[in-house]
């Protein structure tokens, strides 16, 4: 099992390019099931979850391939197996995203209940209730969701009990081929949802209101072949900017969108960091000790839960105390004990962490528990004195493309310790 070894204490500086967003790419790939024809994908990151989704779509009978420009080509015309078996989806929560497209395309779907990071229950009940409102019959048994709509899905008004990103994406894709109008109330407003809606519109779908809490989809009989492009990964962007802040450095991230990170950048400025933005770049410079800043995670456009762990790592060496409240996932403080091992002063009170800044962190052996916790430990290791060894880094490989290479470019002393060369697995052919 791979480890990441970091010798910290060096301010990082320079420029790094953001990858395409995993959380945007996964629903875009799932949407290929709706298209009876070829789709070309651009700026899709090379990550384990991406390979898993491609393998899953290939299992369903679609033709899937890379070309020599690292674009992905999918043609689901020949797809004939509306299933997602446990063996393929057990490690990836986003595998639930194929349920809506499969049901819309084939009138039936059998999808294993998904796995992924152990940061909370994250049930798919709202996905299933929405599909039932659209006329599907749902049976959950033996770890599988079996859904049937032999006469096709019907438009409906669906009110989410709470904001759900994957639920919004799943039902939006299902509604694209449904008969009539579907309205999603209390819909997610995340940039990744907007990316999916815009991409589907480019292929002929009729969608309005994305970016607001009310999305309207008018079903069409089919959508066209074309191209889809993933937006920049705002979580990756913020993680590299946090590397500047926690090390007292100066980093510019290109291929990034400042509008997607307003809440994070506002809190960075509150911490005393110099923030500059351009059309497609963001720069953060930290030339003084960070000020403590309270944060409260919320659905977009609030402070992202996916950046809570990274911000906590920064606050561990701030000049004073702050509170960090997690309102999205009930188990998203599993990184706290690992940060404490590195000398952080953190106390938990329910869904709130009280962080008292210390003068320095100390390198230590720590263990990653989920994707974003992994990133927080990397950040802490970059700032700490001595050596930090992070185990179970397969978590970070699910969401960060070439993280060691990018950090080394910025001046980090970081390496991967592996018994064998780390590479993405999968049997995806080269597109001819």
Q: Active-site residue numbers?
A: 117
Position of tokens 């001819």? 432
Q: Please give the structure tokens belonging to residue 80.
A: 């004939």
Count of Cβ atoms closer than 10 Å to residue 69 Cβ: 8
Count of Cβ atoms closer than 10 Å to residue 201 Cβ: 15
Q: Supply the DSSP string of 232-289, one letter for each residue.
A: B-HHHHHHHHHHHHHHT-EEEEES--GGGGHHHHHHHHHTT-EEEE-SSEEEEE--SP
279 phi-psi bin (left φ>0, alpha ψ -120 to 50, beta other): alpha
Q: What is d(CA 393, CA 1) in angstroms, rounded to the nearest whole number?
A: 8
Phi, then psi, of 242 in degrees rounded to 5: -65, -30
Helix 191-202, helix 165-176: angle, nearest 10: 10
Q: Please give the structure tokens belonging to residue 375.
A: 């990133």
Within its chain, how far is the Cα of 134 from the centroid?
Answer: 27
Name the strand (E) or helix (H) holding 49.
helix 48-59
Within its chain, how far is the Cα of 127 from the centroid?
Answer: 18
Q: What is d(CA 311, CA 323) in angstroms, rounded to the nearest whole number?
A: 11
27: β partners: none
């Amino acid at each position: 099992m791979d480890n990441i070894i970091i010798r910290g204490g060096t301010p990082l500086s320079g420029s790094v390019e953001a990858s395409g967003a995993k959380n945007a790419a996964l629903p875009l790939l799932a949407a290929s099931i709706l298209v009876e024809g070829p789709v070309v994908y651009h700026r899709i990151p090379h990550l384990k979850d991406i390979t898993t989704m491609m393998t899953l779509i290939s299992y369903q009978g679609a033709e899937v391939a890379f070309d020599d420009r690292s674009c992905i080509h999918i043609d689901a015309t020949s797809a004939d197996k509306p299933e997602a078996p446990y063996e393929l989806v057990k490690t990836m929560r986003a595998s639930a995203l194929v349920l809506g497209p499969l049901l819309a395309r084939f009138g039936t779907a059998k999808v294993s209940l998904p796995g992924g990071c152990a940061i909370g229950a994250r049930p798919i009940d709202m996905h299933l209730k929405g599909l039932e409102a659209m006329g599907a019959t749902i049976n959950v048994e033996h770890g599988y969701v079996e859904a049937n709509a032999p006469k096709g899905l019907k438009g409906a008004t669906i009110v989410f009990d709470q904001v759900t990103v994957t639920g919004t994406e799943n039902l939006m894709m299902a509604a694209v081929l449904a008969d009539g109008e579907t309205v999603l109330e209390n819909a997610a407003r995340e940039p990744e949802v907007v990316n999916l809606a815009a991409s589907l519109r480019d292929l002929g779908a009729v969608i309005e209101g994305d970016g607001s809490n009310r999305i309207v989809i008018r079903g069409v009989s089919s959508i066209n072949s074309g191209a889809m492009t993933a937006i920049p990964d705002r979580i990756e962007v913020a993680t590299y900017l946090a590397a500047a802040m926690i090390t007292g450095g100066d980093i510019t991230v290109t291929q990034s969108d400042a509008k997607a990170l307003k809440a994070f950048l506002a809190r960075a400025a509150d911490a005393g960091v110099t923030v500059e933005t351009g059309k497609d770049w963001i720069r953060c410079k930290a030339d003084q000790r960070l000020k403590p800043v309270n944060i409260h995670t919320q659905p977009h456009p609030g402070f992202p839960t996916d950046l809570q762990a990274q911000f906590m790592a920064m606050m561990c060496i701030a000049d004073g105390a702050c509170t960090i409240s997690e309102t999205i996932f009930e188990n998203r403080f599993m990184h706290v004990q690992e940060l404490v091992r590195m000398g952080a002063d953190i106390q938990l009170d329910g869904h709130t962490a009280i962080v008292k800044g210390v003068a320095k962190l100390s390198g230590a052996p720590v263990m990653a528990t989920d994707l974003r916790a992994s990133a927080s430990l990397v950040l802490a290791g970059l700032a700490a004195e001595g050596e930090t060894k992070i185990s179970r880094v397969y978590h970070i490989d699910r969401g960060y493309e070439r993280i060691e290479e990018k950090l080394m470019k910025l001046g980090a002393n970081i390496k991967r310790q592996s018994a064998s060369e780390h590479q993405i697995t999968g049997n995806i052919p080269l597109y001819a």
